[in-house]
Structures are given as C-alpha cells and as structure tokens.
Amino acid sequence: METFSFILIQLLNALSQASLLFFLGSGLALIFGIMRVVNFSHGALYMLGAYIGYTVARLTGSVWLAMLIAPLLVGLLGLLFEMGFLRHLYKRDEDAFLLVTFGLTLVLAELTRLTWGAPPLQVLLPTGLTDVVFILDEPMPVYRLFLIAAGTISSLLIWQFLERTRLGLLIRATSQNAQMVHALGADINLIRSGVFALGCGLAALGGVLAAPSLTASLGMSSAVIDAFVIVIIGGMGSFLGAILGSLIVACVQTFGNFFFPDFALVFLYALMLGVLIIRPGGLLGKEV
C-alpha cells in the first residue's frame, strides 16, 4: 500500500509539472508549426510572465487577476515584436530569426533585472488554493491539483480550437502550406502575428502559474531549453506532440529527481537523443 500511495503522489506531482511544461512547450510548438522558426525568447517571456504576475498580484492583491493580465501583456509584447521585427525576417534564413529572438532574450533579461532586481521574488498562492489535502495519508497541496486541472482544461480547449474552429483550420493550413493559404485569400501576416502572440501569452501564463511554487527568478529564462526538449521529443510543430512531450519530460524529471537526483538531467538528454535517433522528427512529428 505504501508503494502505491508513493507512486500515486509522485504521479500527481509529475502531472502538475507537466501542466507547467505544457504551457511552455505548446507555445513554442505552435510558433514553430506556423513559422518554421524557434523562438529563443520563449524562456524570457515565461520569466516575464512570472514577474508581471508578481507585480499585478501585489498591486491588486489577486493572483487570479495576475493570471489574466500577465498573459495579455506579454501576448501584446509578442505581437508588437512580431510586427516590428520578425515580420521582416521571413525572407531571410531561419538563423536570423533565432538570433533576433536571442537578442530579445538579452534585452528582456536585462530589463527584468533593472525593474525587479536580481533576488528571486516570492509569489503567494492564489486565495482558495492554499490548503493541503491528504491523499492516501500523503500531503498534497491543492495548488498542484489546480495546476493539473488548468493544464488539462487548457490543452483540451486549445486542441478543440485548432480542430473545430475555422481559425484553427486556417492555423493548421498555414503550418502546412502558407503560400497556398495566402493564395486562397487569408491574411497570413495576421495569422502569424496572432499565433506568435498566443504562444507568448501561453508562456507567460505558464510563468504566472509556476511562480508560486518556484518563485520568480531571472534563471527562469533558461526554461527555453526545457521547452525545446519537449518539442524535440514530441515533434516539431505538433501540438499533441507538445502535450505528450510535456508528460514524458515531467515524468523523467520528477522520478529522476527522486531516485537519481544527480543524473536526472543526463536521463533527459539521453531520452532526447534516443528519440532523435529513432524518430528524427519527434514522436508525433513529421520526418524532417
């Protein structure tokens, strides 16, 4: 019985971690799917989300409001950056994109340090979710269960949005053949800007959600590596792949950290290399 409850608790921990990773990875996957480029600043936007969330929560006293405002602000920032810079780079090769978003990462990291200072900031748990429940006599914070619910609901909503709505159809079509969609009369630039903003907003939401359990810190911008591992494992540009990737990465991280704390990272990279050898395009991706 003890091992069962242990596995259950660790599984729930892994699922709550997977939710956070999902917000990070799915945005990256969506942006990659539609633009064929990697947004290096994804980790920085995730970090920015956490910091903006911290400020909103302090000013208004409500973490719930922070979960709404931070993604909107960061999404707006992404929109402006796409329209001001990235849009002019589609004709250049993909490396230019990587480099410009890397530049944005530097700028954002520095601006964040200037605005909020270097020490990590503690974000409080949202009201109503501060309790701890006991599952099979093991303590489990309600906030983690909330994260699982948030991740599940969001992933279902976005998946259905992509599959069932006309806009979702256009997004999927653009990721397959942008020129054809353009020829059929849809505004490609608008779709690209919108998806980029959506991806940035998702990353920021992940940041806000992660902040109460992890604190908001400058190191969060390294999360772009986690996001990328998810996308490589799941499949470049595949939304369902991002969900699968987050689940796998979260399980490896949670169980790896518990059993072999010093080697968890090595396991993760070994897994990523294994996937690359067997399926270069990722588990649910197309062959590249």
Partner 1 sequence: MRSKVLGLAAIALLIFAPTFLPVYAMTLLTELVILALFAMSLDLMVGYTKLVSFGHAGAYGLGAYVCGLITLNSTIPLPFAVGLTAIIVCIVAVAIAWSCTMATGVSFAMLTLAFGQLGYAVAIKWVSVTGGSDGLSGISKRIGPFGWAFLTTKAGFYLFALGCLLGAYFLCRALIRAPFGQVLRGIRENEMKVIALGYNTRRYKIAVVALAYMFAGIAGALYASFAGFANPEMLFWTVSGQVLIMVIVGGKGTLIGPMLGAVFFIMVEHKLSEITETWGLFMGIIFIAFVMFAPDGIMGILKKRIFNKEVTTTTFQTLEVPANPGQVK
Segment contacting partner 1 by CB under 8 A, of 60-68, 94-102, 148-156, 175-183 = 94-102
Cα gap 200→72, rounded to integer Å = 9
Residue 95 interacts with partner 1 (CB under 8 A): yes or no = yes
Cα gap 26→154, rounded to integer Å = 11
Q: Which of 100, 147, 162, 220 binds partner 1 (CB under 8 A)?
A: 100
Residue 149 interacts with partner 1 (CB under 8 A): yes or no = no
Nearer to partner 1, 51 or 143 (CB): 51
Segment contacting partner 1 by CB under 8 A, of 4-12, 14-22, 50-58, 106-114 = 106-114
Nearer to partner 1, 104 or 150 (CB): 104
Q: Which of 7, 80, 156, 276 binds partner 1 (CB under 8 A)?
A: 276
Q: Minimum CB separation from partner 1 for residue 113, in Å? A: 8
Nearer to partner 1, 96 or 125 (CB): 96
Sign of CA dihedral 196, 100, 72, 242: positive
Residue 218 interacts with partner 1 (CB under 8 A): yes or no = no
CB atoms within 10 A of CB 200: 29
Cα gap 157→239, rounded to integer Å = 12
Residues 44, 108: contact at Cβ < 8 Å?
Answer: yes
Buried b (16+ CB within 10 A) or exposed e, 97-126: beebbbebbeebbeebeeebeeebbebebb
Contacts of 171 (CB under 8 A, 6+ apart): 30, 34, 162, 191, 195
Question: Which residues in 252-271 contact partner 1 (CB under 8 A)?
Answer: 262, 265-266, 269
Helices and strands (H and E) in the chain: how many: 11, 2
Burial of 79 from C-beta contacts in 10 A (0-12 / 13-18 / 19+): middle
Size of interface with partner 1, in residues (CB under 8 A): 39
Q: What share of the chain is helix, strand, coil (3-state, %, to 5)?
A: 75, 5, 20
Residue 283 interacts with partner 1 (CB under 8 A): yes or no = no
Question: Which residues in 29-58 contact partner 1 (CB under 8 A)?
Answer: 37-38
Q: Which of 9, 225, 240, 271 binds partner 1 (CB under 8 A)?
A: 225
Residue 88 interacts with partner 1 (CB under 8 A): yes or no = yes
Nearer to partner 1, 84 or 185 (CB): 84
Q: Minimum CB separation from partner 1 for residue 108, in Å? A: 8
Q: Which of 15, 211, 236, 243 binds partner 1 (CB under 8 A)?
A: 236
Residue 114 interacts with partner 1 (CB under 8 A): yes or no = yes
Cα gap 16→249, rounded to integer Å = 12
Chain contacts with partner 1 (rule: CB under 8 A): 37-38, 85, 88-89, 92-96, 98-100, 102-107, 109-111, 114, 222, 225, 228-229, 232, 236, 262, 265-266, 269, 272-273, 276-277, 280, 288
